Structure 1
């Protein structure tokens, strides 16, 4: 017997899923503001380049092999290889590749990686359904607004309760993207979100050992979202208040922090205030929480001529980020894998101070074992940064104390790639050459990026995807 419904604490009067579904149904590529279109294309280019680069690293092959073994044959393409799978499994595979290096974009306020929560679903379905670039962009934008706004509502709260926020919201954004491309009605897209509330679960236990599950989280969301859209299309009875309903998404996932949820920010300004415009493209392939400190260390590199004179290094980080990127200290100073290194403020700051750079090369096995870097990492102490504007920006500071007693400090209030310091189109093209260029020639990289930049709303997605295979 159905139980009487109740509403979560401080929930809005409107149905959140209905508002997001109405947005998705109403979006038309031809009506998107030019900055929204351009921003979408730039972030899609960034994610595709990262997807190519992931093939160079040891996590890619086992993950793809497992997905293929479970999937069987299909017609949807996997980036950078000849593999073709059913759309649901290709979306999982591409999400795994796009998120695998933790080099993909993130939204500072929501603390989610939005493109990987939307693009893999859009790419797989638009290819198999022979849709246009404009249709893909419209669905992508609907998904971006969904996942970003869900993250904004909790102000980083999912991380406090042990969940990986991107993994959670990807189930809902993928359901919205799939519903849009499949031509579902608004009530059906509500139902797809309702089903997604039962599949959204991405725990952060990977932090203990550097396990690969975080890489897989957005792919699981993509697969679940596509499944949800097909279920409601075929008449499946789904919940209609997945977010604010009794035992709904926020109540179960925010737990004791449920009172902190700002439901209104999910629906305010939908279709006019485009939150995706605040999404940041990463200049460094590490957890975004470390970016301010990494940049501070890079600025100090030129001033510290002899690292052997460094007696102590103090890295200041926003308090909420310390459990993720700085603790436990003894484990963080000796990362055992590239993934552990990405989440080690101590290692990243040491490498930046020593080498004056931090790119994909600094995550290779030889770099992780570099004795000089590890010795410097042992001298890094991480403390709470006072007056941080986190999560609006990923700020940070580094102070180097020399054996003479002299101290050198650099503070980064707004991280590179964010807000007024957003990467330019030329920066994004350069990054694409640095990522995709690991596995392809400069000529091919130029051809791919130009095709994506020049695509019109009428361009066939299949035509573009033909260029993205091996």
Structure 2
């Protein structure tokens, strides 16, 4: 046997927790987070299918379509064709991440676009009680967050990894293992089979390529596949995290923290601290957008603008803006700040082709001075923090500091804001009565069958 990095059996202990948890074990804060974040993800997915990158991914799944023997799972809100569960997870995961409106955690991972498509796809093809759906979502989120934290996500990100893509197969597999009712041994296999599918590069940032849109759906697909294969008896490495030769932690991080996978497991839940997105841009820039919007009414409309960022965020989002793809603008903190100050919004309308090439936006975006702030480095990514400084109408400098974005759990109005966002996103595709039915259903996930939820959303064109 090859050397292990830890004497403890991390993979098996995590697998045992996943296999053993029951719905009654979920704290109220976790249930509330599952309800709100699932509603948020579903809204993003319902309205993301028509983007060209989503159509390309769904078209690939369509071309390989064979009627599933068990009836299959659908693309959310779409009548007709169904897919095998893993491919439905791919299609819906890509749609949920289609416009940078899906949730994220400060562990630098998008979660809902991975976990909810995997769970809902299996819920359509299996006969399981609704309470297992709620449990599986909570477990998928928690597992994926802990995997990213164990890699020290800011450091792993600087190696070029996209943390969502690296951790998504594991979150998807954990959630799917709960849905399939796998025992601890097969859950360990599922984690091993998921981890061997991990990957995903940040290279999309060089030209705004669509590969980022693909990552959550692919992770969801990999997670479902891993759990289904484990259920059939295919083994995966049961020392995935701790083995020294080819282990997951060592492969993706030069300085991993294995203890973060298990510390407080089952008692200290990370998933309720997941952020929802009020803006259609990279989550690392949301605190800066919040600051700009707070100062906008008093902004002189000219003069210097300085923005404080952690170094990782500058590398990721601080590049000079040049018109290109939608993703190129969504990942640009400069662009997001410019439209926030000029339009007072950073929503899908701000990313139309005419806006992307607007000379006024381009000039303002590239006039912003990015300041790498060591004090912010010390806080990030535990806090997605930043500050904005600009000139007021009376000639005095104004500064706004934001410790965490407005979509964070620290905002007491977060749940109401999520419901309002769902109403706004779905206004063109659902009748008002349907919207309220869905909002109510997601508030009762432990008792509402997923098939009922999907049927209520079927009028999407």
| Common fold by TM > 0.5 | yes
Greater shift, 113-122 or 285-294, is seen at 113-122
Conserved? CA contact 1:319–1:385, under 8 Å? yes
| Counterpart check, 1:396 vs 2:386 | yes
CA contact (8 A) 1:18 1:190 kept: yes
Q: Distance in 2 between matches of 1:169 and 1:393?
A: 20
State the match for 2:426 in structure 1.
436
Aligned residue among 137, 141, 154 for 1:140? 137
Q: Distance in 1 between matches of 2:251 and 2:25?
A: 37
Q: Paired residue for 1:279? A: 274
Residue 307 of structure 2 is aligned to residue 315 of structure 1: yes
> How far did residue 152 of structure 1 move?
1.2
For residues 17 and 249 of structure 2, the distance between their equivalents in structure 1, rounded to whole angstroms, comes to 21
- How far is 1:419 from its partner? 4.1
2:299 aligned residue: 304
Three-state SS of the structure 2 residue aligned to 1:239 is coil
State the distance in 2 between where 1:227 and 1:17 align. 19
Aligned-residue offset at 1:361: 1.4
Partner of 1:179: 177
Write the distance in 2 (CA, Å) between the matches of 1:56 and 1:92: 15
Contact 1:385 1:397 in 2 (8 A): no
- Listed as ranges, the matches of 1:205-284 within 5 Å are 205-245=203-243, 246-254=245-253, 257=254, 260-284=255-279
Describe how 1:141-156 pairs up with structure 2 within 5 A.
141-156=138-153
Q: Hey, what's the Cα distance between the residues in 2 that align with 1:222 and 1:179?
A: 12
Tell me how far apart the structure 1 counterparts of residues 394 and 297 of structure 2 sit (CA, whole Å): 18
Please list every run of 5 or more consecutive structure 1 residues that lacks an aligned counterpart in the other structure.
none
Structure 2 gap segments, 5+ residues each: none
Q: Secondary structure at the match of 1:387?
A: helix
Structure 2 CA distance, aligned partners of 1:445 and 1:56?
19
SS in 1 for 2:138: helix
Secondary structure in structure 1 of the residue aligned to 2:398: strand
Secondary structure of 1:311's partner? coil
Alignment match of 2:115 (pick from 113, 118, 122): 118
Question: CA separation of 1:16/1:335 partners in 2, compared to 1, >3 Å: closer, same or farther?
Answer: farther
Asked if residue 449 in structure 1 is aligned to residue 447 in structure 2, the reply is: no
Aligned ranges 1:45-60 → 2 under 5 Å: 45-60=39-54
Q: 2:370 aligns to what SS in structure 1?
A: strand
Distance 2:117 2:169 in 1: 12
Partner of 2:94: 96
- Give distance in 2, aligned partners of 1:186 and 1:443: 43
In the alignment, the residues of structure 1 paired with residue 127 and residue 426 of structure 2 have an alpha-carbon distance, to the nearest angstrom, of 25
Q: SS state of the match for residue 19, structure 2? A: helix
Q: For 1:59-70, what aligned pairs fall within 5 Å after superposition?
A: 59-70=53-64
CA deviation vs aligned residue, 1:80-121 (integer Å, no higher than 9, x gap): 22242111100101110111212111111x111122231111
Please point out which of 443, 448, 460 is paired with 2:449: 460
Using structure 1 for the length normalisation, give the TM-score.
0.91
1:340-392 deviation line (CA, Å, top 9, x unaligned): 11110111111111112222211222322333222211211212124222112
Q: Deviations over 1:404-429 (max 9, x none)?
A: 97433222122212242254321111
Alignment pair present for 1:383 and 2:371: yes
Task: Give the alignment's TM-score, normalised by structure 2.
Answer: 0.93
Shift in CA distance, 404/450, structure 1 to aligned 2, threshold 3 Å? closer
What is the rounded CA distance, in whole Å, between the counterparts of 1:77 and 1:429 in structure 2?
24
Equivalent position SS for 1:302? helix
Q: Larger deviation: 39-48 or 223-232?
A: 223-232
Distance 1:236 1:422 in 2: 45
Per-residue Cα deviation, 1:167-207 (whole angstroms, up to 9, x for no partner): 11111111122222112110111011111222111111111
